[in-house]
């Protein structure tokens, strides 16, 4: 009679109690999150130990990317497997629940443990991911600013030459430091090369020289936006260069044309490099997201499967094959 009453009590308890053992789920999630962090830190250490800023030293970018993906998937499999197993092994025993229902509950326990662990890990490393994304955005903005500066979008020539060495009190490099763009420095250099000569023009005063160089810079900037130097501007610059350098009109015209072609080619190459860098960053972000999805999906599957295995271990269920 006592056994019958106890059986009825167990049945009533199983029917009225919740099918979720939150204690087991939280325990599995905590174990999975901790192990994930440990393995991620270990992977970062391995990664830094295999790369080097020196040439012909360390692994390449392709090998580093492949190994990072493999380690991320392995981390998810190991951590999720442990968390799911604990969630299934530590849950309460459902004595009168159907076998299929027990299998479903174990699967759900493993999945919930993985989900909570994934949220915890994402929260903990969210600041690191945020800093990485901020650095990437800053790098992209720097590239865009460099290309815009090389194209003369903000008219750097007039600003630079308006600060003469005499007014700055230095050797004239303060303008370089104030603008700081490699494109600006290249443009100033090419404008200066237009008027390079061993002779001195009769009107080569500081103010006249400044006005001529500023005007030449503005002509180059306007022509670069149009990707071509108008013939009237080219003839005018050739006359100015010939008058101030002592070159013939033909040689001055060749110098103007060659200088503009050099500047235009350099800017085109810089824009192409910027687009290639942006496209490479886009592909890298897309591949990273896809492989992270694969790793998370693998973790969810392994956690759910490990929970069913842990549940069978908890209930001492043995699968016996049919005899021949």
In this prediction the pTM is: 0.61
Give the whole-angstrom CA distance, residue 211 versus residue 191: 12
pLDDT at 154 over 80: no
Same domain? For 115 and 154 the reply is no
Answer whether residue 203 is part of any domain.
Answer: yes
Give the whole-angstrom CA distance, residue 255 versus residue 243: 13
What pLDDT score was predicted for residue 10? 46
Q: Is residue 58 classed as helix, strand or coil in its secondary structure? A: coil
pLDDT at 306 over 90: yes
Instruction: Choose the weakest-confidence range: 72-76, 117-121, 229-233.
Output: 229-233
What pLDDT score was predicted for residue 229? 84
For the residues 10-31, what does the mean pLDDT come to?
75
Check if the beta carbon of residue 240 is closer than 8 Å to that of residue 212: yes
State which residues form the domain around 199.
146-247
Check if the beta carbon of residue 317 is closer than 8 Å to that of residue 103: no
Give the whole-angstrom CA distance, residue 170 versus residue 273: 35
Tell me which of 224, 247, 270 is where a domain ends.
Answer: 247
What pLDDT score was predicted for residue 141? 55
Answer whether residue 5 is part of any domain.
Answer: no
Instruction: Choose the weakest-confidence range: 21-35, 51-65, 110-124, 234-248.
Output: 51-65
Provide the CB-side half-sphere exposure for 4 (13 A, CA): 1
Answer whether residue 119 is part of any domain.
Answer: yes
Residue partners of 1: CB distance under 8 A and separation at least 6: none
Same domain? For 113 and 157 the reply is no
Same domain? For 175 and 226 the reply is yes
Residue partners of 267: CB distance under 8 A and separation at least 6: 147, 150, 151, 183, 224
For the residues 279-292, what does the mean pLDDT come to?
87
For the residues 302-320, what does the mean pLDDT come to?
82
Same domain? For 212 and 150 the reply is yes
pLDDT at 258 over 70: yes
Same domain? For 239 and 305 the reply is no
Q: How many domains does the chain have?
A: 2
Same domain? For 27 and 101 the reply is yes
Confidence of residue 206 (pLDDT cuts 50, 70, 90): low
What pLDDT score was predicted for residue 2? 43
Confidence of residue 297 (pLDDT cuts 50, 70, 90): very high
Which of 75-89, 116-130, 165-179 holds the top average pLDDT?
75-89
Same domain? For 242 and 151 the reply is yes
Confidence of residue 294 (pLDDT cuts 50, 70, 90): very high
For the residues 49-61, what does the mean pLDDT come to?
75
What pLDDT score was predicted for residue 191? 77
């Amino acid at each position: 009679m006592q056994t019958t009453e106890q059986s009825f009590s167990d049945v009533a308890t199983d029917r009225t109690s919740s099918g979720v053992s939150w204690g087991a789920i939280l325990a599995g999630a905590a174990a999975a999150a901790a192990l994930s962090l440990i393995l991620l830190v270990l992977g970062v250490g391995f990664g830094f130990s295999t790369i080097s800023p020196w040439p012909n030293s360390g692994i390449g970018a392709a090998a580093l990317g492949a190994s990072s993906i493999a380690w991320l998937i392995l981390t998810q499999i190991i951590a999720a497997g442990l968390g799911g197993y604990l969630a299934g092994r530590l849950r309460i025993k459902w004595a009168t629940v159907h076998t299929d229902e027990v299998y479903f509950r174990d699967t759900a326990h493993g999945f919930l443990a993985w989900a909570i662990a994934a949220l915890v890990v994402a929260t903990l490393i969210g600041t690191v991911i945020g800093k990485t994304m901020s650095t990437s955005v800053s790098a992209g903005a720097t590239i865009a600013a460099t290309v815009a500066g090389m194209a003369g979008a903000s008219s750097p020539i007039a600003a630079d030459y308006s600060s003469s060495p005499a007014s700055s009190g230095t050797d004239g490099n303060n303008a370089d430091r104030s603008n700081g763009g490699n494109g600006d420095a290249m443009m100033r250099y090419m404008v200066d090369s237009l008027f390079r000569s061993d002779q001195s023009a009769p009107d080569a005063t500081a103010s006249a020289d400044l006005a001529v160089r500023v005007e030449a810079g503005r002509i180059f900037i306007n022509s670069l936006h149009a990707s071509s130097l108008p013939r009237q501007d080219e003839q005018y610059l050739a006359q100015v260069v010939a008058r101030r350098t002592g070159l013939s009109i033909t040689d001055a015209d060749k110098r103007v044309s060659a200088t503009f072609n050099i500047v235009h080619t350099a800017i085109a190459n810089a824009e192409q490099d910027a687009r290639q860098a942006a496209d490479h960053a886009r592909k890298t972000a897309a591949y990273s997201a896809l492989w992270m999805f694969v790793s998370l999906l693998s973790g969810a599957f392994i956690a759910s499967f490990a929970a069913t295995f842990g549940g069978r271990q908890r209930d001492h269920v043995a699968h016996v094959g049919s005899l021949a």
